[in-house]
Amino acid sequence: MRVQVVANKVDADNWEPFAADASNLGFGEPWLVSAKTNFHRRHFVEKLYGSLPLPESLPVRVAPEQLLPEMKLALVGRRNAGKSSFLNALAGQPRCIVSEIAGTTRDAIDVRFGFGGRSLLAIDTAGVRKRTKMDSRVEVWAFERAKSAVKRADVCLLLLDATQKISGVDKRLGKLLSDECKPVVVVVTKWDLVEGRKNTKGLPVTVADYQTYIEDQLKALPVAPIVFTSSVERRGLKETVDVAFDLFRQASLRVTTGKLNDVVRGILQKRGPSSKLGTKAKVLYVSQVKTQPPTIVMVVNKPELFEGEYTRYMLNRFHEELPFTEIPIRLIIRERNRVSLRDLASRGPRPGFVTDEQGNLEEAELEADPAELAEAVGGLDEADAGAGAGAEPYNPALSEEDFTDDDGEFDPSLLDDAEDEDDEG
């Protein structure tokens, strides 16, 4: 390992003799630079670039694909919840500054390390407190950085201080994670300071009691698993990582359309949505269009019949029937966009094949006959198609590519565009 001394704050030529005193440290001639005025900046960059080893001379210790993190893990929580201490315990060395002074961490810090033979990228975020108590722009900026870390994480750890009551800040953080549809592990820190204490009834505090308390307070995270840890005693660290990887695996799964059809059919047969006007609810198409988080799109006849309480009922059944027991599921319910018979007929002739007098196939242009279309095409407007409206509706095949924008992010507004494209095809 090479040590290079850099003399900073050399703002002009008259400061160079003073910077030369740094050579007395015994590490050779110092490099001169000024971060404020950029004095000698070009020479500094050239020396730095020239001192770097060539790529072929670097030691190869692991395969290139192993250098990439298997999972990005964001640590969020209120101030002084023990996030930095927990990360240092995971990494096995002091990677983040730990202090009893609340608000020591100001920015999201990425820490890459291995744990149990697996690679992780942990993101230590700044502690959060009430907006009314944020006394500087730095705290507001730190909170925005924490939200950005949540967006790019695969799994989030919500850290709760076992020595403190669950506050409104903890509940709002839980709501934020729920709105982002992120897999969450609720991590109770400092459990070594609580274990053995007595509650208000004079009985020892147990894991079951505290777990019931968390489930009662964090309504926004009903399926999130809970792990009790101690950074000082290094207790619960392996369980936390194992649970996080299990949630990451669940979020990466994709369920077939056939399986979803069977599950939805069973849910409707057991308890279908009710209507005051007696309208029968119909699910015309269902498919999982995205992973991380699992996103399920249902095309129905009347979306208002599935809203509110029945949506929550379906999500609970999905958690029971599908392999997404401990992660959030994004359910999008859309109404079918019917194409009128008039639009179909106005598209003109289409290429096709007909049979000649000898029974041989020959290519020809087929005219769109409204009478034949009414019998052959389902899912038309009743005013246009008449008896043909009762036929089985046409359900275009949906895929993840139909609902992702140029940046690869899921965009529900593209559902209508995808359906229009399928109709035009």
pLDDT number for residue 370: 46
What is the Cα 253 distance to its own chain's centre?
14
Nearest-angstrom CA–CA distance, 354 and 361:
6
**CATH 3.30.300.20 domain position(s) in the chain:** 257-336+396-424
pLDDT number for residue 28: 86
Fold observed for domain 64-251:
Rossmann fold (3.40.50)
The H-or-E segment that residue 169 falls in is helix 168-179
Provide the residue-wise pLDDT of the chain in tens; the chain has 425 residues: 678 999 999 998 888 888 888 888 888 889 999 998 989 898 898 888 888 776 554 454 544 444 445 799 999 998 888 888 888 888 887 767 665 555 556 557 788 888 877 888 889 887 787 766 666 676 777 778 888 889 999 999 999 999 999 998 899 999 999 999 999 999 999 999 887 788 777 888 889 889 999 999 999 999 999 999 999 899 999 999 999 999 999 999 999 999 999 999 999 999 888 877 777 888 888 999 999 999 999 999 888 888 889 999 999 999 999 999 999 999 999 887 766 666 666 665 555 444 444 544 444 444 444 444 444 444 333 333 333 333 333 344 455 555 556 655 555 555 555 444 444 44
**CATH 3.40.50.300 domain position(s) in the chain:** 64-251
Mean pLDDT of all residues belonging to the chain: 78
Give this prediction's pTM: 0.64
Task: Dump pLDDT digits (tens) for 302-322.
Answer: 888 888 899 999 999 999 999
Nearest-angstrom CA–CA distance, 214 and 71:
26
pLDDT number for residue 382: 38
pLDDT number for residue 377: 41
**Cis ω before 293 (30° cut-off from 0):** yes
The bridge status of strand 155-161 relative to strand 71-76 is parallel
Nearest-angstrom CA–CA distance, 305 and 333:
10
pLDDT number for residue 194: 86
Under CATH, which architecture does the 257-336+396-424 domain have?
2-Layer Sandwich (3.30)
pLDDT number for residue 345: 64
